[in-house]
């Protein structure tokens, strides 16, 4: 579970824990080392939440923008556990330093592309699609050899229109296209790849920015969606799709942490 120190990644780890899974929680933020943006959350916290939910949590400090580090992570997992059934990338660094209004370079959300530097664009691509590519290419050989497995990329569905910020929109669209391309190349080998699109999630960052009341779902909603996909023997039928957590709740019958079933995120432009 890549990118699981907080946010949607932590919710997915917890959802898999509820299903009794052994979950390897990875990210850059640790109790014993550096933490991104000096935030308090750490991979050890998430691993403990997996345990409390009924699974078995293990933490592993990993920079998911380093090909070598990701390769070493996968080798460690295979040596210790023998196989990898599900790999999820929820890594997202595009909003680091965003205070709810402005990015660190002073530009605001949705600033026209010709009025902003192009330099931050690389961080959006690294902190989303590139991290997903590194995880998938590292884990695919083991899954291909086993003739089975599920690779999921957490993103936002871009099919129904522009997301409101060029850098954000293109990064999410690229992640979605990766899910499709992975699916096409892995399908003949019995491995499924897809994308998962949560709604407006009540993450730690969202709460800290005072936007918790505007959010419609908890991080666990996406976690239960992923757990349902992982348990579905017919999940290959969904390969290459970008699946909404809300649609999966209707299909599989799960609810959010409070017992509700929040609807799809609607982006009005």
Residue-wise pLDDT for 116-174, tens only, equals 999 999 999 999 999 999 999 999 999 999 999 999 999 999 998 999 999 999 999 99
Strands (E), 110-174: 149-154
User: Do the bridges between strand 149-154 and strand 191-197 make them parallel or antiparallel, or are there none, so unpaired?
Assistant: parallel
Asked if 69 contacts 34 with a C-beta cutoff of 8 angstroms, the reply is no
**Rounded CA gap, 180 and 25, in Å?**
25
Nearest-CA neighbor of 172 among 181, 183, 159, 184? Answer: 159
The domain in which residue 134 lies consists of 7-252
Asked if 6 contacts 41 with a C-beta cutoff of 8 angstroms, the reply is yes
What's the whole-model pTM score?
0.95
Q: Based on the structure, what is the number of domains in the chain? A: 1
Asked if 43 contacts 9 with a C-beta cutoff of 8 angstroms, the reply is no
- 244 within a domain of the structure (yes/no): yes
pLDDT of residue 269: 53
Q: Any idea what the CATH number is for the domain that residue 231 is in?
A: 3.40.50.720
Nearest-CA neighbor of 10 among 21, 26, 33, 22? Answer: 26
- 265 within a domain of the structure (yes/no): no
Question: How sure is the predictor about 268, in pLDDT bands with cuts at 50, 70 and 90?
Answer: low
- 210 within a domain of the structure (yes/no): yes
* pLDDT of 34 above 90: no
- 264 within a domain of the structure (yes/no): no
């Amino acid at each position: 579970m890549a990118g699981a120190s907080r946010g949607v990644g932590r919710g997915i780890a917890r959802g898999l824990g509820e299903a009794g899974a052994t979950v390897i929680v990875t990210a850059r933020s640790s109790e014993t080392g550096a933490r991104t943006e000096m935030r308090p959350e750490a991979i050890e916290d998430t691993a403990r939440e997996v345990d409390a939910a009924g699974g078995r949590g293990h933490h592993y400090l990993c920079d998911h923008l380093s090909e070598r580090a990701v390769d070493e992570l996968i080798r460690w997992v295979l040596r210790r556990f023998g196989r990898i059934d599900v790999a999820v990338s929820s890594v997202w660094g595009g909003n680091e330093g965003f205070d709810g209004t402005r990015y660190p370079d002073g530009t605001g959300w949705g600033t026209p592309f010709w009025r902003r530097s192009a330099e931050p664009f690389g961080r959006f691509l690294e902190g989303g699609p590139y991290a997903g590519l590194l995880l998938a290419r590292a884990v695919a050989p083991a899954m291909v050899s086993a003739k089975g497995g599920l690779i999921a990329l957490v993103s936002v569905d871009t099919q129904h229109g522009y997301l409101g910020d060029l850098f954000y929109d293109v990064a999410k669209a690229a992640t979605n296209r990766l899910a499709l391309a992975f699916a096409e190349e892995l399908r003949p080998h019995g491995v499924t790849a897809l994308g998962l699109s949560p709604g407006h999630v009540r993450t730690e960052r969202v709460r800290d920015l005072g936007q918790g009341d505007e959010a419609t779902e908890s991080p666990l909603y996406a976690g239960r969606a992923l757990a349902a996909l992982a348990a579905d023997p017919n999940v290959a039928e969904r390969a290459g799709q970008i699946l909404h957590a809300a649609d999966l709740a209707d299909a599989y019958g799960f609810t959010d942490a409070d017992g509700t079933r929040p609807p799809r995120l609607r982006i009005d432009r």
